[in-house]
Amino acid sequence: MTKKIAILGSTGSIGTQALEVIDEHPDLFEAYALTAHNNAELLIQQAIKHNPEMVVIANEKKYEQVKEALKHLPIKVYAGSEAISQIVEAGPIDIVLTAMVGYSGLKPTIHAIKAGKAIALANKETLVVAGELIMNMAIEYRTPILPVDSEHSAIFQCISGEPNPIEKIILTASGGPFRNFSLEELKHVTKAQALKHPNWEMGAKITIDSASMMNKGFEVIEGKWLFDLQPEQIDVVVHPQSIIHSMVQFQDGGIKAQMGEPDMKLPIRYAFSYPYRLHAPNAPRMDFTQTTQLTFEQPDLKRFRNLQFAFEAMRTGGNMPCILNAANEIVVDAFLHEKIGFLQMSDIIEKVMEKGEFIAKPSYEDYVGTDAAIRQLTKELILN
């Protein structure tokens, strides 16, 4: 029996690589449902190739385009964000890969958990915004959450079958394209520079987050919830080679590390096949005659303040990580549209964290309200 997989965000970097994994193992996996936000053209191509049971285009203006292109195929076509939340509940689906960008991944993940679907989690904002809510629901509905981020997959692989408690985790960061830039140089960073990551090929939003180290900050918060840790049990170290994807330290001082060439197909494949590892003859192999140095540095929290903000939000708890995420989504969009500078993103986020209404014990409705209010506040601060 093949596992039927719903890919939320099939046209993004993770989604397209997930489809490649499915192509490599057609006897094991089937693309049952595909969704995209705006890229109707690629969604149509994917649907024609993979013939899923259903597709959803979130941008309702592109519904007719998708429906017309697929009218000769037995594929159900839906539109709108609400449809994405509904299709994940379909009975045959075994795994939901949440590869949507940002806050938009939260609601479909909740619906998938309630429907008892295994979650292959690539949307880190889901746990950043509402980690306590999501993990409690996963326990209640006995739904496995399998991390797809390379760092959290590395931790997951290190503790799989390990009976001993974690003393701490060490998340590795490449340092991004501006690791050696001074503050003065960071003032003049351009969008084009920020979109050139040295090691990974990712979508625009996550690439900017990586350059500002907000991505690593989000991973810190995500790690707290995934592995039930306290803030002091999470460290970050800059590892420019991106060969060690993360590490776990145990109470005897021993450390396990998961290593490999930068390749997102490995964590995707592992999440789909867990607890088994699939033969992947075309996957890159380490050559230690060529990789002769592994170096490590402490992150500079004065130059990359977003990482510090994430630790502060995690320690504060409540809806503060939700505030952080909403502000970040707006400032990244503003930077990509060249409305603000690279360092201004952090300046505005700091102000929003000071001004946003704090809620210590938020409900789902509180998260929704916080997200909307903080987006508006952030836009006002950008204009002023």
For residue 213, is it within any domain? yes
Interacting residues of 339 by C-beta distance below 8 A, sequence separation 6+:
382
Separation of alpha carbons 129 and 367, rounded Å: 7
**CA geometry: angle 116, 117, 122, nearest 5 deg:** 135
pLDDT at position 103 is 85
Q: What is the DSSP letter of 98?
A: E
- Counting every residue written for the chain, the total comes to 384
Give the pLDDT band of residue 176 (cuts 50, 70, 90).
confident
> Do residue 185 and residue 121 come from a single domain?
no
pLDDT of 206 over the 70 cut: yes
pLDDT tens digits for range 39-90? 999 999 999 999 999 999 999 999 999 999 999 999 999 999 999 999 999 9
> Do residue 176 and residue 298 come from a single domain?
yes
pLDDT at position 199 is 61
For residue 69, is it within any domain? yes
Give the pLDDT band of residue 202 (cuts 50, 70, 90).
low
> Do residue 117 and residue 29 come from a single domain?
yes
> Do residue 122 and residue 212 come from a single domain?
no
For residue 364, is it within any domain? yes
Nearest by Cα to 32 from 8, 71, 60, 4:
4
pLDDT at position 86 is 96
Separation of alpha carbons 213 and 219, rounded Å: 10
357 lies in which domain range?
Answer: 317-384
> Do residue 178 and residue 256 come from a single domain?
yes
pLDDT at position 198 is 63
Q: Which residues pair with 7 in a beta bridge?
A: 34, 97
Total domains present in the chain: 3
- Please give the residue that has the higher pLDDT: either 89 or 177: 89
Contact between 344 and 302 under an 8 Å Cβ cutoff? The reply is no
Nearest by Cα to 112 from 132, 138, 133, 130:
138
pLDDT tens digits for range 239-267? 999 999 999 999 999 999 999 998 999 99
> Do residue 110 and residue 37 come from a single domain?
yes
What percentage of the chain reaches a pLDDT higher than 90? 89
For strand 54-57 and strand 76-79, is the pairing parallel, antiparallel, or unpaired? parallel
Distances (CA, A) of 34 to 126, 202, 245: 19, 19, 28
> Do residue 159 and residue 238 come from a single domain?
yes
pLDDT at position 128 is 95
Separation of alpha carbons 141 and 24, rounded Å: 31
> Which conformational region is residue 175 in: left (phi greater than 0), alpha (psi within -120 to 50 degrees), or beta?
left
Average pLDDT, the chain: 95
